C-alpha cells in the first residue's frame, strides 16, 4: 500500500502542538438541514480550533479520494500537514442524524476505509513538540504516538464509548501516561461505574492524570484536579446548526491556548477552558469548519470578553 506524507519534508516545521485524530468525510442530518460529504473528523475540528493560537501539526490519514479543496482549507488554517498520510483507497466516512433536541444523535454508518489500517507515524520534526493532543482514535494508536514523542510537556487524551467498551484495558494504560483526560459525562460514568460526576472524577484521577476535564455539552465543563474543581457553563447560543465536533473544537481551542501561554498551572487551565468553550461555540454555529473558517482571533476574544462578564460574580 502506497503511503506518502501530504507535504514534502523539505521545509519541515516543528509545530508547538501535535494533534492526532480522525479525518473524515461526514454526512450529517439535523432536524433542519442535511449535508452530504462534508469535511469532519476529530483532527479537523481540533487542528482548526488550535490554529487561532499556535502552530499546529496534524497526524492522521486520508484516502486517495480526499478532495484537494479540503487540504487547501487546512492550509488556510495554517495547519502543518507533514504528519498527514495519504494512502491508496477511500477516506474514513461517518454519518449521523441528530434527534429533535440536537443533544442526542444516532450513528447511521461508520466506514473505516483507510482508517482501519492506520498506523500514525510522526515526522521527526514533530517528536520534540512540547504539547500533544491525542484525539479520539483507538487507545493502542494513542499509545503508539506517545511512544514516538521525545519529551512532551503536556499531553491531553480524548476518548469515546467505543473504546471504553471494546478496549478498556488499553485505554486505562494510556490514561495512566497523560497529564489531562477529557471525556463527556456519559463516558465518565461508563468508564468508572459512578453516577456522580465528582465520584467519577476522583476515580479517574486515581488512574494517573493530574487533571480530568468532564464535558457536559450545552451545560459546560468541569475540571477536576487534586486542588478541587473549576466549572464553566457553555457559551449560550440562540442558534446551533450542527453540534458535530464541538468536543474536538473545544479541545483544540483549549490546547492551542495552553500552548500559546506556555504554562500548565491551574490559572492557565481556566483561561484555556474559556478559550476552548468559545471556539466550540463558534464551531457549532455552522456545519463542518464553515464558521471557524470565517472568524478571526479578535472575534474569539470579543466573545471571551462577553463570556467573562456573564460569569463574573461581584
Ligand atoms: P464529536 O461530535 O466530538 O463526537 O466528533 C464528531 C466527529 O468524529 C465526526 O466528524 C466524525 O467524523 C468523527 N468520528 C465519528 N466516529 C468516529 C470514530 N469511531 N473514530 C474517530 N472519529 C470518529
In the prediction, which pLDDT does 10 show? 57
- What confidence tens digit (pLDDT) does each residue in 186-245 have? 999 999 999 999 999 999 999 999 999 999 988 999 999 999 999 999 999 999 999 999
Pick the CATH number of 3-311 from 1.25.40.10, 3.40.1190.20, 1.10.940.10, 3.40.718.10: 3.40.1190.20
**Number of the ligand 1 atom closest to the C-alpha atom of 243:** 2
Q: What is the whole-number distance in angstroms between the Cα of residue 225 and the centre of ligand 1?
A: 27
| Confidence band for 103, pLDDT divided at 50, 70 and 90 | confident
pLDDT above 70 covers what percent of the chain? Answer: 97
Specify the pTM.
0.96
In the prediction, which pLDDT does 270 show? 97
160: which 3 cell numbers?
A: 469515546
pLDDT at 8 over 60: no
Q: What is the whole-number distance in angstroms between the Cα of residue 311 and the centre of ligand 1?
A: 31
Q: How many C-beta atoms lie closer than 10 Å to residue 265's C-beta?
A: 9
Residues in the chain: 314
Crossing angle of helices 42-50 and 266-283, in 10° steps, is 120
Residue 309: exposure state from Cβ atoms within 10 A (0-12, 13-18, ≥19): exposed
Atom 22 (ligand 1) nearest CA: 22
Domain definitions of the chain by residue range? 3-311
**Number of the ligand 1 atom closest to the C-alpha atom of 247:** 3
41 lines ligand 1 (CB under 6 A): yes
Atom 16 (ligand 1) nearest CA: 94
250: which 3 cell numbers?
A: 473545544
230: which 3 cell numbers?
A: 473549576
In the prediction, which pLDDT does 9 show? 55
Map residue 279 onto helix, strand or coil: helix
Q: What is the mean pLDDT of the chain?
A: 95
Q: What is the mean pLDDT of residues 157-178?
A: 96
| Listed range (3-17, 139-153, 270-284) with the worst mean pLDDT | 3-17
42 lines ligand 1 (CB under 6 A): yes
The separation between CA 247 and the C-alpha centre of its own chain, rounded to angstroms, equals 6
Amino acid at each position: 500500500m502506497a503511503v506518502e506524507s501530504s507535504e514534502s519534508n523539505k521545509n519541515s516545521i516543528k509545530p508547538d502542538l501535535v494533534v492526532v485524530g480522525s479525518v473524515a468525510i461526514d454526512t450529517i442530518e439535523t432536524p433542519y438541514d442535511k449535508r452530504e460529504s462534508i469535511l469532519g473528523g476529530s483532527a479537523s475540528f481540533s487542528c482548526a480550533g488550535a490554529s487561532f493560537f499556535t502552530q499546529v501539526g496534524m497526524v492522521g490519514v486520508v484516502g486517495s479520494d480526499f478532495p484537494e479543496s479540503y487540504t487547501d482549507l487546512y492550509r488556510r488554517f495554517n495547519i502543518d500537514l507533514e504528519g498527514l498520510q495519504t494512502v491508496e483507497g477511500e477516506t474514513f466516512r461517518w454519518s449521523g442524524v441528530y434527534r429533535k433536541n440536537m443533544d442526542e444523535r444516532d450513528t447511521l454508518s461508520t466506514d473505516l476505509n483507510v482508517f482501519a489500517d492506520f498506523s500514525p507515524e510522526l515526522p521527526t520534526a514533530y517528536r520534540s513538540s512540547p504539547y500533544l493532543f491525542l484525539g479520539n482514535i483507538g487507545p493502542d494508536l494513542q499509545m503508539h504516538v506517545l511512544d514516538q514523542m521525545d519529551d512532551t510537556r503536556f499531553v491531553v487524551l480524548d476518548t469515546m464509548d467505543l473504546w471504553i467498551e471494546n478496549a478498556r484495558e488499553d485505554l486505562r494504560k494510556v490514561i495512566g501516561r497523560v497529564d489531562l483526560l477529557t471525556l463527556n459525562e456519559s463516558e465518565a460514568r461508563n468508564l468508572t461505574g459512578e453516577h456522580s460526576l465528582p465520584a467519577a472524577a476522583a476515580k479517574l484521577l486515581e488512574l494517573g492524570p493530574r487533571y480530568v476535564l468532564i464535558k457536559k455539552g450545552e451545560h459546560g465543563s468541569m475540571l477536576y484536579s487534586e486542588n478541587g474543581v473549576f466549572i464553566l457553563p457553555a457559551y449560550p447560543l440562540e442558534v446551533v446548526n450542527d453540534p458535530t465536533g464541538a468536543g474536538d473544537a473545544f479541545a483544540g481551542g483549549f490546547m492551542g491556548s495552553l500552548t500559546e501561554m506556555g504554562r500548565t498551572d491551574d490559572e492557565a487551565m481556566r483561561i484555556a477552558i474559556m478559550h476552548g468553550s468559545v471556539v466550540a461555540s463558534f464551531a457549532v454555529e455552522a456545519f463542518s469548519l464553515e464558521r471557524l473558517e470565517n472568524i478571526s482571533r479578535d472575534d474569539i476574544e470579543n466573545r471571551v470578553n462577553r463570556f467573562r462578564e456573564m460569569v463574573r460574580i461581584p
